[in-house]
Amino acid sequence: MPQRRKIGLALGGGGARGFAHLGVLIALEENNIPLDFISGTSMGAVVGAARAIGTDLHLLSRLISCLDINELLQLSDSTIREVQKAIGRGLVEYVRGSDWHASENFPQDLARIYELFSLLTANKDFSDTLIPFAVVAADLETGDRIVITEGKLYKAIAASAALPGTFSPVEHQGRYLIDGGVIDKIPVSVVIDLGAETVIAVDTGAPLTRNVKTTLDSLLQSQRITSHELTRLQLERARQRIDGRLILLRPEVSEITMLAFKHVADAISAGKQEAYAHMDEIKKLCALS
């Protein structure tokens, strides 16, 4: 009997938009699409971990839709306001001469996300996953891409989701790690390294916007342009590695801002719609070799 190619799923970042990954996963499960490997960055790591440990996705969807994540993490739903708050915190730290490396108190923001992610992953380890799983974070001091495949799931995904300016860096084996989207927004190459021969990738990143009116808008837009170009090059290189056996899903979540977790249900619905819109292509791509 012919053997099918190993299928990998690469889930990107995007904050609240990233819950579209859950909708994609539900659609894949409803259509019996097997997954052999999963990699995740930021919110993709959160959702990917849940799938890797065998969580009931419909139950998780209902749970997530009921939680007030903004309240749990004490975040506003405005990215601009969060950036302004981060700039303010930075100025205070500069004036006071603060050094987060030397802080003796465990950051309260990390305590909150540790608690949330521990709940979502049932406090399990990578060794408990039913599907091989990898999480991507970035080393704040060197810029290295750090791929985590062992230890507590909640700590790895907290590092991968530690948005600079909003959450403190996560200490891991002597390194300080931040949001993996800084270096690898859609970790296709990581899931190929795990063994995938065919990849389904999901992009829930921020779209480029033409509504640039202020200096801060210009700063954010320039970062998006750099990120988009880096991601394009990484996807192109990954596609070549697997002879083009890559399908990229882009759920329509452009109206959801990064921290607008009150729109989780909309993001999940958008992910499911996008997966179903491409289901024939997905099935063809994942057919027996």
Which position among 36, 139, 179, 184 bears the catalytic label?
179
Whether 25 contacts 201, CB under 8 Å: no
Determine how β-strand 7-11 pairs with β-strand 198-202.
Answer: parallel
184 noted as active-site residue? no
Whether 164 contacts 133, CB under 8 Å: no
Whether 146 contacts 137, CB under 8 Å: yes
Write the burial class of residue 16 (CB in 10 Å: 0-12 exposed, 13-18 middle, 19+ buried).
buried
DSSP result, 168-195: PPEEETTEEEEEGGGT-SS-HHHHHHHT
Which position among 39, 42, 189, 227 bears the catalytic label?
42
193 noted as active-site residue? no
Torsion sign, CA atoms 174, 179, 182, 184: positive
Whether 5 contacts 192, CB under 8 Å: no
CA separation for the pair 214, 218 (Å, rounded): 6
Q: What amino acid positions are annotated as catalytic residues? A: 42, 179
